[in-house]
Structure 1
Amino acid sequence: MTRPADDGPFFHGTKADLGIGDLLTAGFRSNYRPEIVMNHIYFTALPDGAGLAAELASGEGAPRVYRVEPTGPYEDDPNVTDKKFPGNPTRSYRSTEPLRVVDEVTDWIRLAPEALQAWRDRLAVILDEERGEIIN
């Protein structure tokens, strides 16, 4: 795994209610293709990007954004950098090692319901066109 030059801070969006010091790990089902168990944990250097991920995450809880720190090596997320956004403008990363929760972020920008639905619709089309391919 090649470590990108980005040193953060980093953020992870989820519907899980976590505490300071908790570890986020790989090995859970994908939010976008629940039949896939993920080999990586994903994160971003953009708090609003993590907020979007939290809004789109599966589960019943409230969307939450956490500031996290990688506990091991990480790399650019090839699901967005190689396929959709060369050069990683989304500042999206992944790791096989856990992320440690440092703090909860509460000032991220929430999307209006219409904008969130547009993202869900767009994601559904992308997953259908690509048959939901996720580089895992």
Structure 2
Amino acid sequence: MEFNPNNIVIQLCMQGMGMEQQGKPEEAAGVFLQAWNQATNDFEKFIAAYYVARHQKDLSHKLNWYQTALQFALQVNNDAVKGAFHALYSNIAQCYEKLGDTDNAKISHDLAISFSGLPADKGPFYHGTKADLQVGDLLTAGRISNYKAELVMNHIYFTALVNGAGLAAELARGDGRERVYIVEPTGSFENDPNVTDKKFPGNPTRSYRTQEPLKIIGEVTEWLRQTPEQLQRWRVRLAVNKGKIIN
């Protein structure tokens, strides 16, 4: 199970988030509940339950929904959900604190701390671009963004989802063909803060960044390509993006 922006449950959650931004919390709550009712696997149920929890007015109900989200995340227990454990345990700790249950609040708070820090994702990792590169080449920070000519990148961005890297390649500037390289970090890396906990809990897109070089160790040519209509929607989003980076 991995993040797919074309998944109906993911789309419903994104629709609900849009309603939240428009100041329509009741409508958003209804859409999130619809996402929960349409969820068919543990990953979808984890995502939907998280957003249903946010709209519960009763603290006990909010706690139950966050615990439900956690239970499904623990059943998935892969790199797509591990980044969410910190947020889930933190929210559960806050609920316990407000309910006056200090013992369980401390337990959940300590668990949240245990899941903070650098990601433990082992990859494989991918970087999408239109640049023609070779195995053994190094991708380094300090270059112009693939998406905004006026932006110099302080980090190199990469992902563990080949389809995410493929989308990045399709959207990248340049006239060359889309290339998705298999890359190997040469140093430490961190969750991409542009996506982590900004919309979805944790880092389900498994997007990362580093200031150390990425070494190209291979190339893939097969990924789920976007339709022209889907690509146009992504380009519109990118055009209004305020400095956030895809991939």
> TM-score, normalised on structure 2?
0.50
Q: 1:10 to 1:82 in 2, by over 3 A?
A: same
Deviates more, 1:14-23 or 1:78-87: 78-87
TM-superposed deviation, 1:83: 2.5
Give SS of 1:8's match: coil
Q: C-alpha distance in 2, partners of 1:3/1:101?
A: 22
Relative to 1, partners in 2 of residues 1:134 and 1:122: Cα closer, same or farther, differing over 3 Å? Answer: closer
The CA distance in 1 between the partners of 2:147 and 2:200, in whole Å, is 19
**Which residue among 172, 192, 217 is the counterpart of 1:102?**
217
Q: Pairwise mapping of residues 82-121 of structure 1 onto structure 2 (< 5 A)?
A: 82-121=197-236
Q: CA deviation at 1:87?
A: 0.3
Q: Point out the structure with the larger strand share.
A: 1
Q: Secondary structure at the match of 1:21?
A: coil
1:52 paired to 2:164: no
Partner Cα distance (1:106, 1:133) in 2: 29
How far residue 27 of structure 1 moved from its aligned partner, in angstroms, is 0.8
1:72 lines up with 2:182 in the alignment: no
Q: Which runs of 5+ in 1 are unaligned?
A: none
Q: Please, which runs of 5 or more residues in structure 2 have no aligned partner?
A: 1-116
Identify which of 28, 40, 49 aligns with 2:143: 28
Q: Does 1:81 align with 2:196?
A: yes
Alpha-carbon distance in 1 for matches of 2:133, 2:184: 14
Shift of 1:34: 2.1
Deviation of 1:121 after TM superposition, in Å, equals 1.4
Count of residue correspondences: 129
Paired amino acid for 1:11: Y
| Matched AA of 2:183 | V
Paired letter, 2:161: L
Task: Please provide the CA RMSD for this pair.
Answer: 1.5
More helix by share: 2
Residue equivalent to 2:8: none
Paired position in structure 2 for 1:3:
118
Question: Which has the higher relative contact order, 1 or 2, with Cα contacts under 8 A spaced 6 or more apart?
Answer: 1
